[in-house]
Amino acid sequence: MEHFESKLGIDPKKVEKARQLARDIALDVTNFVQKYSTVSVERTICRFFGIDGINDEGVPLPNVVVDHLKEKGALENGAALYIGNAVLETGMTPQEIAEAVASDKLDLTKLPMHSVDDIKGVVDELADKAIGIIDEKKAERQRMLEELGDPPQPYIYVIVATGNIYEDVVQAQAAVRQGADIIAVIRSTAQSLLDYVPYGATTEGFGGTYATQENFRIMRKALDEVAKEVRRYVRQTNYSSGLCMPEIAALGALERLDVMLNDALYGILFRDINMIRTMVDQYFSRIILGYAGIIINTGEDNYLTTADAYEQGYTVISSQLINEQLALLAGIPEEQMGLGHAFEMDPSLENGFLYELAQAQLSRELFPKAPLKYMPPTRFMTGNIFRGLVQDAMFNVVGIWTKQGIQLLGMMTEAIHTPFLSDRYVAIDTAKYIFNNMRNIGDEVIFKPGGIIQRRAQQVLDQAIELLEKMREDGLFKSLEKGVFANTKRPINGGKGLDGVFEKGKHYYNPFIEKMLKDKKD
């Protein structure tokens, strides 16, 4: 490793060892998932080909096409092949083909099949068109960043969650004017478990709006408007997780989102989604997000809402290392890895702040280029808003001290109700005050050799290596069955969505994997 200078007295050989173990685990998973595809991967291809809209019963057309192929027992060769063949045979566009399938006027499996090479030629053209749109969106982001400027890290990240996208817009613009750099639009409760992407704008969501293309578009336009007003680029976040992980990633890429929550382990542990389904879906979704220049956020912070932060801190580090390697294998550069962790020590723990500082500094040293995403205290927030404000302030101190990339601000009323605009104002104002006043504290202060902070960080890394060694032996799937993360056990053949997984057939073709990864390798 080049110039590894550790403030924590971490041995670079141990860091190398931890990375190698994580790489072995990730390679094992990636080699396994490449043999499979899923209904959500195939629907993603349909969306990239321009298939959009719903049928008379409100079923999204990508679902209609993929379900049609599945019912005909033809899915193993993938949707791209049949759509490409239908374009050749009928001269229709993919959208017209989907509409014909929806009205029972067309059976994709009954058309005369053209040669695989001819079909691939059509498919590649369709794929290049979609990739061209993503390239334009990337160029647009770059232009806006150059024109408006990129705020300093840690980016101030806040959430809007009214359930009405138009109300979310009002709140999001207000938050940006108050100083927010990233706006996350919270998703309607349990969208993770829907095996389709809802269509259109949401005005009556529960706890949030649906992740839909139209909602992405509405918020993107609103954030671009306010960005020009405040003269700094504003990033938009949504959730590419659950049973439609790659589809939502594709919609985010097409609508220029900047950050997406994307972590299969979260879906397995906290939403009971089948592990094979979600790892296959994650691989394709990360290829898309990597190509689109979208930062991924991983969900390690959630482990500490179910397990103790002091006892289980090492599971966060192990998971971050595995997530890093899975992301690299999908073509995501380190600069787009918002690896997650959280300020969740029990406030009654003596020296808890020092342990937090050790954990956050360890994450920073292990992933020097990553815009780490640091989550505020939630588990130990109470109805005492004054103590809550102090807990959030201490979290912000650690954030600036250890140079976190993305700071999701805590709100003092978090444990009582959905925070008011005024609570958000106080949170942003306090964070800006702390970030400005302590901007360079991390460069000025060194840790006592062999002291509490150094010892804690070294202990956590040692425990993480020990866990990774066990996981390499068992493989990721068996380790999840044993409950290594968040004290939660999941069976390999259990959970939701397994019936949507299939083994790729002889002529299976997904043009996007090769094209998007090729760009990374060139």
Pairing label, strands 36-38, 501-503: antiparallel
Residue 153: what residue type? Answer: Q
Burial class (CB in 10 A: 0-12, 13-18, 19+), 205: buried
Spacing of C-alpha 110 from chain mean position: 39
Distance CA 376, CA 394 (A): 10
- Can you tell me whether residue 44 is helix, strand or coil? helix
Contact 285, 166 (CB under 8 A): no
Active-site residue flag, 509: no
Active-site residue flag, 301: yes
Q: Which two tokens stand for residue 424?
A: 């958000």
- DSSP one-letter code for 208: S
Nearest partner of 264 among 285, 250, 288, judged by Cα: 285
Contact 156, 183 (CB under 8 A): no
Distance CA 83, CA 239 (A): 28
Pairing label, strands 373-375, 501-503: unpaired
> Could you write out the DSSP letters of every residue in 100-138?
HHHTTS--TTTSPP--HHHHHHHHHHHHHHHHHHHHHHH
Catalytic residue among 120, 137, 373, 403: 373
Listed in sequence order, the residues at least 6 apart from 85 whose beta carbon sits closer than 8 Å to its beta carbon are 108, 111, 113, 114, 119, 122
Contact 272, 242 (CB under 8 A): no
Active-site residue flag, 373: yes
Q: Which residue has the tokens 């992405």?
A: 216
Nearest partner of 407 among 301, 327, 314, judged by Cα: 301
Catalytic residue among 82, 155, 210, 266: 266
Catalytic residue among 168, 263, 301, 423: 301
The length of the chain, given as a count of residues: 522
Residue 333: what residue type? Answer: P
- Can you tell me whether residue 520 is helix, strand or coil? helix
Active site (catalytic) residues: 266, 301, 373
